[in-house]
């Protein structure tokens, strides 16, 4: 079969190979890359993957999207290295919470959040492909919490890659900060910026807009719009749906959602032929997606700080991929919706498109009170201590059951409770402890730079650290 080409959701950029898409962020026209078609896993392949090791499923799924730059031996090496660092051999193990209710634990990676699943694979793919192209890259990222830690861990010590993460000083949890600042590697830098997350993000955007700077440090990104991250996340929907499906019957998923990357990977698994049923978007009080799916109005509404901060977002960037695919690749329609969004007005999802989306997706919202109650109730009923993001997911799962959803239902547990100890303790009275491998986190030496919210200062620090 010929390799899959990737096209932009806005229809005005040239098609690229997987290898190019991996190292490119946004398309030049502002769109996100999607495959021209979804590779199907044959019935025989699916049968062979049921109960197979995670890495074997990853080979089948990731292997279906890459191009000839990734031969079987090199891809196997990358996948083994990426997932060998997980604390659980199943990578994404299932826990049973009720007769047909399950939780998929995605927090067994090095930084205890689901972002490790994708980032560890990028940490293998980037250096390999940069080396082949005789290039190097400086990744600059802004983080409000989990992404920075996962990226730092994945890139630490990787040849050809430098990484610098900006975080808002004093505004991320100590666990989150320590996962970034205690990694002793020459190619890692952290800058604590005197400002908030939006200031950090604005600094990164400004650096990408500066051609001189971009070339000088060979600027790159690892944000959640990277297609390779979606592909890596598709794997665990394939493995778990095959485990739980009864004779090919669909398995439903409930996904704590922010940027729509994780749940979109479930949609990809479904397109590939895995027995994935309904996909349930779980939002916290930042409920743009819940409102959009229920009313058809996609309208930003400001960001509220919640106890599930990794879902505190204003706009879900990966939703654009769904809009494009569910509208039969109507790039013009996507462009006009995104123009309206940029103007701050939002847009109305056309009826036919909304109906098509609701064929696969539904949504529920949890407020802060319900999220806390769910943490307490889950501990009482099942003995499981869960983090606030997972609790938002379980509130949505309960909503779907109350509305009559039947069949196996898997809620994604996206972070370890010890990543959010204060919120978990406030809700349950129990202070979660770190897993043994990272128990010394609070004793490790932190290294970071500090800077005012000033572009010249921050870009100067990055140049000094990494420019040849
Ligand atoms: C990033 C994140 C999410 C949201 O995932 P998206 O792909 O952005 O929808 C949920 N929970 C946790 C813990 C996260 O880190």
Full residue range of the structural domain in which residue 235 is found: 94-110+227-428
Residue 216 CA to residue 203 CA, distance in Å, equals 17
Whether 197 is in a domain gets the answer: no
In 3-state terms, what secondary structure has residue 58?
helix
From the CA of 257, give the closest atom in ligand 1.
9
Q: Given 3-state DSSP classes, what are the helix, strand and coil percentages for the chain, each rounded to the nearest 5?
A: 45, 15, 40
Whether 388 is in a domain gets the answer: yes
Residue 15 CA to residue 27 CA, distance in Å, equals 10
From the CA of 262, give the closest atom in ligand 1.
7
**Domain count within the chain:** 1
Region 360-386 average pLDDT: 98
Residue 139 CA to residue 135 CA, distance in Å, equals 13
Residue 111 CA to residue 415 CA, distance in Å, equals 9
What secondary structure does DSSP assign to 262-300, as a single string? HHHHHHHHHHTT--EEEEEEEE-S--HHHHHHHHSEE--
For ligand 1, whether the C-beta of 129 sits within 6 Å is no
For ligand 1, whether the C-beta of 257 sits within 6 Å is yes
Question: What pLDDT score was predicted for residue 145?
Answer: 79
Question: What pLDDT score was predicted for residue 1?
Answer: 55
For ligand 1, whether the C-beta of 115 sits within 6 Å is yes
- pTM, two decimal places: 0.96
Kindly give the distance from the C-alpha atom of residue 261 to the centroid of ligand 1, in angstroms, as a whole number: 8
Whether 72 is in a domain gets the answer: no
Give yes or no for a contact between 180 and 164, defined as CB atoms under 8 angstroms apart. Answer: no
Q: Residue 414 — pLDDT band, cuts 50, 70, 90?
A: very high
Top-confidence residue, 376 or 172: 376
For ligand 1, whether the C-beta of 286 sits within 6 Å is no
Which of 146, 416, 91, 106 is CA-nearest to residue 253?
A: 106
Q: Residue 207 — pLDDT band, cuts 50, 70, 90?
A: very high
For ligand 1, whether the C-beta of 413 sits within 6 Å is no
H or E element at residue 325: helix 319-326
Residue 461 CA to residue 149 CA, distance in Å, equals 20
From the CA of 146, give the closest atom in ligand 1.
15
Q: Edge-to-edge strand order for the sheet containing 137-142? A: 219-220, 137-142, 161-168, 188-194, 449-452
From the CA of 115, give the closest atom in ligand 1.
15
Kindly give the distance from the C-alpha atom of residue 390 to the centroid of ligand 1, in angstroms, as a whole number: 10
Kindly give the distance from the C-alpha atom of residue 264 to the centroid of ligand 1, in angstroms, as a whole number: 12
Kindly give the distance from the C-alpha atom of residue 152 to the centroid of ligand 1, in angstroms, as a whole number: 17
For ligand 1, whether the C-beta of 259 sits within 6 Å is yes
* Tens digits of residue pLDDT in 48-101: 999 999 999 999 999 999 988 899 999 999 999 999 999 999 999 999 999 999
For ligand 1, whether the C-beta of 417 sits within 6 Å is no
Mean pLDDT, the chain, integer? 95
From the CA of 233, give the closest atom in ligand 1.
7
Kindly give the distance from the C-alpha atom of residue 414 to the centroid of ligand 1, in angstroms, as a whole number: 7
For ligand 1, whether the C-beta of 389 sits within 6 Å is yes
* Tens digits of residue pLDDT in 132-165: 999 999 999 998 878 999 999 999 999 999 999 9
Whether 152 is in a domain gets the answer: no
Whether 198 is in a domain gets the answer: no
Region 276-303 average pLDDT: 95
Whether 244 is in a domain gets the answer: yes
What secondary structure does DSSP assign to 173-242, as a single string? -HHHHHHHHT---TTEEEEEEES-HHHHHHHHHHHHH-HHHHHHHTEE---TT-HHHHHHHHHHHHHHHH
CATH classification of the domain holding 282: 3.40.50.1100
* Tens digits of residue pLDDT in 171-188: 888 999 999 999 989 999
Question: What pLDDT score was predicted for residue 277?
Answer: 98
Kindly give the distance from the C-alpha atom of residue 331 to the centroid of ligand 1, in angstroms, as a whole number: 27
Percent of the chain residues past pLDDT 70, beyond the cut? 99
From the CA of 107, give the closest atom in ligand 1.
13
Given the structure tokens 């995104």, which residue do they identify?
A: 338
- pLDDT above 70 for 435: yes
In 3-state terms, what secondary structure has residue 453?
coil
- pLDDT above 60 for 416: yes
Region 199-218 average pLDDT: 90
From the CA of 260, give the closest atom in ligand 1.
9
Enter the DSSP assignment of 415: B
Pick left, alpha or beta for residue 346 (phi over 0 → left; psi -120 to 50 → alpha; otherwise beta): left
In this structure, are strands 101-105 and 94-96 parallel, antiparallel, or unpaired? antiparallel
Indicate if 56 belongs to the active site: no
Whether 370 is in a domain gets the answer: yes
For ligand 1, whether the C-beta of 197 sits within 6 Å is no
The single residue of 115, 194, 205, 299 carrying the catalytic annotation is 115
Whether 86 is in a domain gets the answer: no
Q: Which of 414, 416, 417, 423 to mutate to test the pocket of ligand 1 (most atoms within 8 A of CB)?
A: 414
For ligand 1, whether the C-beta of 146 sits within 6 Å is yes
Residue 382 CA to residue 366 CA, distance in Å, equals 20
Protein residue whose Cα sits closest to atom 2 of ligand 1: 310
Kindly give the distance from the C-alpha atom of residue 72 to the centroid of ligand 1, in angstroms, as a whole number: 30
Residue 274 CA to residue 240 CA, distance in Å, equals 10
For ligand 1, whether the C-beta of 307 sits within 6 Å is no
Region 322-326 average pLDDT: 98
For ligand 1, whether the C-beta of 151 sits within 6 Å is no
Which of 165, 163, 166, 167 is CA-nearest to residue 137?
A: 163
H or E element at residue 83: helix 72-83
Question: What pLDDT score was predicted for residue 466?
Answer: 84
Question: What pLDDT score was predicted for residue 221?
Answer: 86
Kindly give the distance from the C-alpha atom of residue 309 to the centroid of ligand 1, in angstroms, as a whole number: 9
């Amino acid at each position: 079969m010929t390799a899959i080409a990737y096209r932009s959701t806005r229809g005005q950029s040239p098609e690229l190979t997987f290898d190019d898409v991996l190292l490119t962020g946004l398309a030049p026209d502002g769109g996100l890359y999607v495959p021209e078609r979804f590779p199907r896993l044959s019935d025989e392949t699916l049968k062979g993957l049921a109960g197979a090791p995670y890495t074997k499923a990853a080979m089948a799924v990731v292997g279906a999207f890459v191009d000839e730059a990734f031969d079987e031996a090199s891809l196997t090496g990358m996948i083994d290295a990426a997932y060998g660092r997980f604390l659980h051999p199943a990578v994404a193990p299932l826990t049973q919470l009720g007769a047909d209710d399950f939780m998929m634990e995605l927090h067994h990676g090095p930084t205890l959040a689901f972002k490790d699943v994708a980032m560890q694979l990028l940490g293998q793919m980037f250096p390999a492909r940069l080396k082949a192209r005789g290039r190097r890259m400086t990744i600059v990222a802004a983080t409000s919490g989990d992404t920075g830690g996962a990226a730092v861990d994945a890139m630490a010590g990787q040849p050809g890659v430098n990484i610098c993460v900006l975080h808002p000083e004093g505004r991320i949890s100590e666990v989150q900060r320590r996962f970034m600042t205690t990694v002793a590697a020459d190619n890692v830098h952290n800058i604590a910026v005197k400002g908030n997350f939006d200031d950090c993000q604005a600094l990164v955007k400004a650096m990408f807009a500066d051609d001189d700077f971009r070339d000088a440090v060979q600027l790159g990104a690892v944000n959640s719009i990277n297609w390779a991250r979606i592909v890596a996340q598709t794997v665990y929907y394939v493995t778990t749906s095959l485990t739980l499906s009864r004779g090919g019957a669909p398995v439903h998923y409930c996904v704590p959602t922010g940027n729509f990357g994780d749940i979109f990977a479930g949609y990809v698994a479904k397109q590939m032929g895995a027995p994935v049923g309904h996909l349930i978007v779980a939002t916290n009080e930042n409920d743009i997606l819940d409102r959009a799916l229920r009313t058809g109005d996609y309208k930003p509404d400001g960001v509220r700080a919640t106890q599930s901060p990794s879902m505190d977002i204003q706009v879900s960037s990966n939703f654009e991929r769904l809009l494009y695919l569910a509208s039969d690749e109507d790039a013009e329609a996507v462009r006009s919706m995104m123009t309206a969004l940029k103007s701050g007005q939002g847009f109305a999802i056309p009826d036919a498109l909304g109906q098509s989306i609701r064929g696969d997706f539904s949504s529920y919202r949890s407020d802060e009170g319900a999220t806390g109650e769910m943490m307490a109730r889950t501990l009482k009923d099942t003995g499981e201590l869960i983090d606030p993001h997972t609790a938002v997911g379980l509130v949505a799962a309960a909503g779907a059951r109350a509305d009559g959803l039947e069949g196996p239902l898997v809620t994604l547990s996206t972070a370890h409770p010890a990543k959010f100890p204060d919120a978990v303790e406030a809700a349950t009275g129990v202070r979660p402890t770190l897993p043994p491998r990272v128990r010394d986190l609070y004793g490790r030496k932190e290294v970071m730079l500090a800077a005012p919210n000033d572009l010249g200062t921050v870009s100067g620090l990055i140049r000094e650290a990494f420019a040849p």
